[in-house]
Structure 1
Amino acid sequence: MLSTFSEVDAAQFDERVALEVGQRLKASARYPAWLDGLTAASGHAPVPLAASTWVVANDADLAAIARAARSASHPAELHHGAAVDGPRFPAYRGPPAVPGGTTGRGRMWTIAGGWRS
């Protein structure tokens, strides 16, 4: 998986987000050709890809990820975990509470621009 935006968090400075997202956008643009080269060299069928990423995080980090995606002209949509097709797991409760910390809310963003197999 190459995820362009999901490494962003609410505690990062805007300049750092811009630098890191810019680097990942360049890597993401090269990813399909790199996979094509691997496929050609291996002689195997290509691995199917979807150009999106599901992210589970707390509200503040989800908002920061969505801002970064939208700043790079990529869509970001909020989905409740119950609305997502696939395996059903117990509701995400986030990490244990720590002083000054936050807990997750079980929400997910689908972000165009990441790659998953």
Structure 2
Amino acid sequence: MFGGRGRGPRATRTAGADQEAELPLTVEEAYRGGRKEITLNGPDGPRSYTVTIPPGVNDGRRIRLAGEGGRGLGDGPAGDLYLVVRLLPHPIFRVQGRNIHVDLKLAPWEAALGASVPVATPGARPR
């Protein structure tokens, strides 16, 4: 009817909705990158994912898992799942944007005379 050939209930295709979840990371995990196993609860129960974290990822960055979002209707494709990186508080390091800050305890004469001081980094502890 009205020239809409082949448009029955089977022809309805709707893409699934994109979804978003938080991905908590330690400063060390964000610095090194690598793979992390996470489990998220969804409408169909818990699902596990292996996420590849790029080295140097910063707070607020979105990591896309294509086709892991909401299911599509009919033959529609699934949406994407976006994981938003959230850096956990750290006892030594403070992260501001792409910079890592650490407090050093120095005597004024050490700073004035150019003393060598070991500094911890997310990649390694000082020796």
- Tell me the TM-score normalized by structure 1: 0.24
Larger Rg: 2
- Tell me the TM-score normalized by structure 2: 0.22
Structure 1 or 2: larger helix share?
1
Structure 1 or 2: larger strand share?
2
Higher RCO, 1 vs 2 (CA within 8 Å, ≥6 residues apart): 1
